[in-house]
Copies of this chain bind each other. A is one copy, B any other.
């Protein structure tokens, strides 16, 4: 995997604009066409792109959903039929782009990056591109992800204003569904922050910090992808594209709100993850401190005792204590005194148990 989700699209440096770089591994395009008016709705899978020209010319609205980018000829043909600007087509195909909202003659381009957790926990952000026209909406996905199914269902069932309001409302509904995909990802990352909080508080193993670092990296990824997304939705709201009616704009405020909410959660999670690093370092210092205390207590008690024993192990001819009948008893008593004194000293310093801690009467959190 490329570092940091490194995301330069493939066209070689200096390639002319409009060069299409088929993403490696992308399946050949499957084209799903929906034609609808307020009264009726036709769904079909199109094998030959030429069929789209008819749909484009027919009255009513149409939605062309292109799943897979694996055939340049088909993509170019679609671009020709709907008169897509070469740069817009490039943005749609050369994944991943930065999230954006850009006006082109004939279309308004919206690029959405959708975060997903991969099996190993990594965050991947595939791209979906929407081209909103006057009577048509064209969407490009790298492969089929199922992001659009709930909206497709609503369109089929004709609930709400979705059939009446045309491609811009449909585009809103799709962007809304895509942006909602940020929630489960951010929620799972937030839950990991919480889990790590508990683990860091409980122990101080070195791998915990490794995992905090990994989590931070994922949060950085979501932030890097999400901020341009927030800007792009904001631009969509304020740009006054001719392809987006005021009525739909009201709905778009809702999407702007969602992405803002998500990004605030990401920022909070990021800040708490930073706090975890400090918490971990502090736990480590406490542990080192504990280890040192054990050593100090053991050594401070037994080194003086050994010294006393050493003194009476000396072989001088003239050591009167050695010959005293109570000498041994007195020596042992002296040693007990020394050990007791050291223990008293350490207890007063609060190194044995912790009698120094003051009792707390009131519960700390005030109502």
Residues of A within 8 A of B (CB): 2-4, 6-8, 12-18, 85, 87, 90, 97-98, 100, 102, 104, 117, 119-121, 147, 149-151, 154, 159-160, 162, 173, 176-177, 180-181, 183-184, 186-188, 190-195, 197, 201-203, 205-206, 209-211, 213, 216-217, 220-221, 224, 227-228, 250-251, 253-254, 257, 260-261, 264-265, 267-269, 271-272, 275-289, 291-296, 298-300, 302-307, 309-319, 321-323, 325-328, 331-332, 335, 351, 354, 356-358, 364-367
- Contact across chains for B310 and A183 when beta carbons are under 8 A apart: no
Give the chain B neighbours of A351 by CB distance below 8 A.
Answer: 291
Contact of A327 among B6, B260, B318, B354 (CB under 8 A): B318
Structural contact, A194 and B366, CB atoms closer than 8 A: no
B260-A365 in contact (CB<8A): no
Query: Separation in Å of the A192 CB from the closest CB of chain B?
Result: 7
Q: How far apart sit A18 and B321, CA to CA, in the bound complex (Å)?
A: 92
Given the known interface contacts A13-B177, A265-B6, the answer about A315 and B313 at a Cβ–Cβ threshold of 8 Å is: yes
Which residue of B280, B288, B315 contacts A312 across the interface (Cβ within 8 Å)? B315
Given contacts A18-B160, A302-B303, A307-B305, contact A268 B224 (CB under 8 A): yes
Instruction: Tell me if A's interface is mostly helix, strand, loop or mixed.
Output: helix
B6 engages A187 (CB within 8 Å): yes
Besides A14-B180, A16-B173, 16 other A-B contacts (C-beta < 8 A): A2-B187, A7-B265, A13-B177, A16-B159, A17-B251, A87-B250, A203-B356, A213-B276, A224-B268, A227-B264, A282-B284, A284-B285, A291-B292, A292-B296, A313-B315, A318-B326
Kindly provide the distance from the CB of A13 to the nearest chain B CB, expressed in whole angstroms. Answer: 4
Which of A18, A203, A299, A307 neighbours the largest number of chain B CB atoms within 10 Å of its CB? A307
Q: How far is the CA of A295 from the CA of B17 in the complex (A)?
A: 66
Chain copies in the assembly? Answer: 5
A311 nearest in chain B by CB position:
B309
- Residues on B with C-beta less than 8 A from A186 are 6
Closest B residue to A219 by beta carbon equals B271
CB pair B177 A14 closer than 8 Å: yes
Which B residues lie within 8 Å of A100 (CB)? 257
Nearest-CB distance from A32 to chain B (Å)?
A: 17
CB pair A228–B264 under 8 Å, yes or no, is: yes
Contacts of A260 in B (CB 8 A): 98, 228
A177, B211: Cα distance in complex, Å = 39
Name the CB-closest residue of B to A154: B16
By a CB distance below 8 angstroms, the chain B residues around A176 are 14, 17
**Given A284-B289, A312-B314, A312-B315, does the pair A3, B221 have CB atoms closer than 8 Å?**
no
**Complex partner residue of A264 from B183, B224, B364, CB under 8 angstroms:** B224
- In the complex, what distance in Å separates the CA atom of A117 from the CA atom of B366? 8
**Residue in contact with A309 in the complex, picked from B284, B307, B317, B358, CB distance below 8 Å:** B307
A296 to B17, alpha carbons, bound, how many Å?
Answer: 65
In the complex, A317→B354 CA distance in Å? 43
Given contacts A303-B298, A323-B317, contact A366 B4 (CB under 8 A): no
Please give, as numbers and ranges, the residues of chain B lying within 8 Å of A284 by CB-CB distance: 282, 285-286, 289
Measured in the bound complex, the distance between the Cα atoms of B4 and A24 in whole Å is 39
Are B16 and A162 closer than 8 Å at their CB atoms? yes
Q: Which residues of B contact A282 (CB under 8 A)?
A: 206, 209, 277, 280-281, 284
Interface pairs (28), CB distance under 8 Å: A3-B191, A6-B187, A6-B265, A8-B187, A13-B181, A14-B150, A14-B177, A16-B159, A16-B173, A117-B367, A120-B365, A121-B366, A192-B364, A195-B364, A203-B356, A203-B357, A206-B283, A206-B286, A216-B272, A217-B275, A282-B284, A284-B285, A291-B351, A298-B299, A309-B313, A314-B331, A316-B327, A316-B331
